[in-house]
Amino acid sequence: MLLSLAVIQILYPVIGLIVALVVAVVVCCGASVACVYKMDNFGSLLKEWPSLFKAYWKLHEDFYDKTLEEYNHPSGVPINWDGRRYDVPELGFKKTVCGVILTIYGVIIMTLGATLLLIIKYIPAHLNAIFLYLQTLTNMFTCVAFPFLPFWLIGLALVIALGPVVLVLGVLIAPLTGLACPYIAIKHNNIGCGFKEALVLLSKLDRMSFGMDVQIPPPLLPKVERVGEEWTLPSEQTEPSSKKYWSFYVTNCQEVCKDALAKGWVNKEDLEGCMPNVIQAIPAMAIVAILLRSVDAEPDKESIFWKKEERCDAKTCRTDDLSQFFWPKLMNVRKQLKTTTKEEQDYLMAKLCANSEEVPAELKDAVDTAKIDENKQIKLHRLCGDVNNIVIVLLRMEKMQSNLPGILGLPDEENV
């Protein structure tokens, strides 16, 4: 994991710099041509720089103040998170090595292949561009257009001169297109697709006509098509497969809520007012209740029993971004719960509920009268922290917020 992050941290800035330089060259060339047609001197471009810098700074401020602010939280989870992962995935050591190999492979193959194809196709494509431009000469012999004939001649010179520039830019861009190989491999979770991607791109380049009605020379490579979209990025899934577990979780929260009310651990007024203490406590207690049931049912397996007849494990549940994110955290809590006694479990539930300065007398008695060793208390308090960290992330999710009335058992409960 550390290696994959290191590679990403090194490659992405370099790629960004190369792309910025290529785009800057293209934009400057286009702006220079525009100056010629507008009969402006090149110094007029410098006058526009302050406004461009101001526009960029405005975009930078908006991005920093609005977009990044959504992630400005210790959990790193944006507000109203939809359960899908949008950052760089955890590739692991093997995938990172394969990604490095595919990066080198893609850059070399695309550089050599694209350079050869562009050189072969350059002369006919450039001659065709000049021929198409010459066809516009007849339009210049009108009263309106004739005064601009000198500029047309300048344009012809640019078409002739820019041909080699475009060829060089194409050769420079070729290594960047090779980075599509590791991207496709990660997207489809298939290394073979990554190796095939370079051939797909070269095949498409070989079939580009560059404005010619008849390709000269004809395609030199066999047609290679990209793999279909039977593998889909998690961020492109229409509906996470873990969605069905929300209803089970809400049901467990409702049961915990009723039990806490019956014990006098929470006040009905706090529930009706959606006070912060109950919004934090009920989901946390429900997580512990679910995992304790799972430990009792299958002590030696990593599984979750949402209810007696609804079970899932890593193979059946850990299938999308949401479950991939929460599963290790839940299994860490489950592992710690395996070594707790019934008295420690009761103390843990009481501590999770006693998360405010003023608590009901019944809850205070449950915490104070528990006969738990001091060292055990420290471990249980750390376990409380692990559970609460999960709840903090949950409470930032849009699905959790929309289900709060149902979780707290309020009359205006929403359907899940």
Most confident of 68-82, 88-102, 310-324, 336-350: 336-350
Higher pLDDT among residues 67 and 99, named by residue: 99
Q: 81: which 2 tokens?
A: 């998170």
Confidence band (pLDDT; 50, 70, 90) for 294?
A: very high
Element (H, E) at 307: strand 303-307
**Residues 6+ away with beta carbon under 8 Å from 26:** 169
Percent of the chain with pLDDT over 90: 17
Confidence band (pLDDT; 50, 70, 90) for 8?
A: low
pLDDT per position as a tens digit, 364-400: 888 888 888 888 989 999 999 999 999 998 888 888 8
Confidence band (pLDDT; 50, 70, 90) for 56?
A: confident
Parse the chain into domains and list their residue ranges: 90-235, 242-407
In this predicted structure, what is the pLDDT of residue 2?
Answer: 42
Confidence band (pLDDT; 50, 70, 90) for 230?
A: very low
Pure H helices in 340-408: 342-353, 361-368, 374-395, 398-402, 404-407
The rounded distance, in Å, linking the Cα atoms of 278 and 261 is 11
The amino acid occupying position 105 is Y
- Is residue 124 scored above 80 in pLDDT? yes
Confidence band (pLDDT; 50, 70, 90) for 30?
A: confident
CA dihedral over 279, 280, 283, 285, signed as positive or negative? negative
Query: Do residues 132 and 199 make contact, with C-beta atoms less than 8 angstroms apart?
Result: no
In this predicted structure, what is the pLDDT of residue 290?
Answer: 93
Residue with tokens 């290696």: 3
